[in-house]
Amino acid sequence: MVKTPQDWMRQAIEMAVQNVRFQHGGPFGALVVRDGEVVGSGVNSVIAMNDPTAHAEIVAIRAACHNLDSFQLTGCELYSSCEPCPMCMGAIYWARPERVYFGCSRSDAGEAGFDDALIYRELGLAPGARAIAAIPLLRDEALAAFTEWAVSPVKMRY
Amino acid sequence: MVKTPQDWMRQAIEMAVQNVRFQHGGPFGALVVRDGEVVGSGVNSVIAMNDPTAHAEIVAIRAACHNLDSFQLTGCELYSSCEPCPMCMGAIYWARPERVYFGCSRSDAGEAGFDDALIYRELGLAPGARAIAAIPLLRDEALAAFTEWAVSPVKMRY
């Protein structure tokens, strides 16, 4: 029987719930689906792995790319139990699935203690004006890396 | 001799240049420094690892957290040969180093073919209005994961 988006979302939600019950990490689960099959999945593993990037979506994207032997998720859909944070949205743009479905909203996440909204706001500020200041340094020298890239035989868009 | 921010930045730039010369990946390098020592480093490994999240900053943050046995980079500085993209900025907010130094700007990256600016723009749009649509689904059911989290004995802020 063909699964619906609701079926996949319920699976992502169940992973999120179990992740808390098993005391593995935060209340988040994600699936990458292609042609009616799960090609990667992940749960929040920040605490268990000591990895602040191990959000459910990042874990699922990395797993799917590994399984598909590709750094692109063409033709895939991502299901996440919660609206992706800016880090995960960035990863989604680099991986380029067709679309994303999410359960809870960023404001639900905020009420649960996860301040995604802060990061969305901060990214709209100039780098130097942010709570974690981002300071330009030695741009002229740093351009050397792009000069090297421009003439590299392996230059590839990703 | 105590190293200056310029010294660390030159090291990140050199890693970026070598990453292209060794044909490993894109022209990006990053370092995490604490108390005058490198605690993690990374180069862009998207193509080599088939991992769209393997930007230099993410690789460096994961390495530093692994080395420090912590999901927080308290007291650390991050040096990146280029202004971090939204994914990496998100990771920086979750890891919470003290500050970030960057070499090239996002517009330099854009001219070199890396469209970070597109992602910055897209994140400012409503989820449903983006080029990769993000669609809410089953929020009422998804809230169950946060309900579980609220009463979890292992609830921990990260």
Span A13-34, mean pLDDT? 96
Closest CB from A82, A101, A134 relative to B83: A134
| A/B interface, count of CB pairs below 8 Å | 311
Q: What are the DSSP calls for A71-134, one per residue?
A: S--TTEEEEEEEPPPHHHHHHHHHH--SEEEEEE-HHHHHHTT--HHHHHHHHTS-GGGSSS-E
Average pLDDT, chain A: 95
Say yes or no to pLDDT of A158 above 90: no
User: Could you list the active site residues of A?
Assistant: 57
Q: How confident is the model at residue B158 (pLDDT cuts 50, 70, 90)?
A: low
A128 near B CB under 8 A? no
- CA B2 to chain A, closest CA, distance in angstroms equals 18
| Contact yes or no for A62/B87 (Cβ under 8 A) | no
Q: How much is the pLDDT for A157? A: 65
Say yes or no to pLDDT of B153 above 90: no
Nearest CA in chain B to A153: B23
Say yes or no to pLDDT of A155 above 90: no
pLDDT by residue (tens digit) across B12-67? Answer: 999 999 999 998 999 999 999 999 999 999 999 999 999 999 999 999 999 999 99
Q: How confident is the model at residue A115 (pLDDT cuts 50, 70, 90)?
A: confident
Q: How confident is the model at residue B156 (pLDDT cuts 50, 70, 90)?
A: low
Say yes or no to pLDDT of A111 above 90: yes
Closest CB from A23, A127, A132 relative to B154: A23
**Residue linked to tokens 């990146």:** B80
Average pLDDT, chain B: 95
Q: What are the DSSP calls for B28-68, one per residue?
A: -EEEEEETTEEEEEEE--HHHHT-TT--HHHHHHHHHHHHH
Residue with the larger pLDDT of the pair A151 and A158: A151
- CA A26 to chain B, closest CA, distance in angstroms equals 7
CB contact under 8 A, A26 and B85: no
H-helix or E-strand spanning residue B78:
strand B76-82
- CA A153 to chain B, closest CA, distance in angstroms equals 8
Residue (of A72, A85, A1) closest to A34 by Cα position:
A72
Give per-residue burial for A48-86: e unless 16+ CB within 10 Å, then b.
bbbbbbbbbbbbbbbbbbeebeebebeebbbbbbbbbbb
Pairing between β-strand A76-82 and β-strand A37-43 as defined by DSSP bridges? unpaired
Q: Of the listed B14, B37, B57, B122, which one is catalytic?
A: B57
Q: What are the DSSP calls for A17-83, one per residue?
A: HHHHHTTSSSS-EEEEEETTEEEEEEE--HHHHT-TT--HHHHHHHHHHHHHTSS--TTEEEEEEEP
CA-to-CA distance for B87 and B37, rounded, in angstroms?
25
Report ipTM (2 d.p.): 0.95
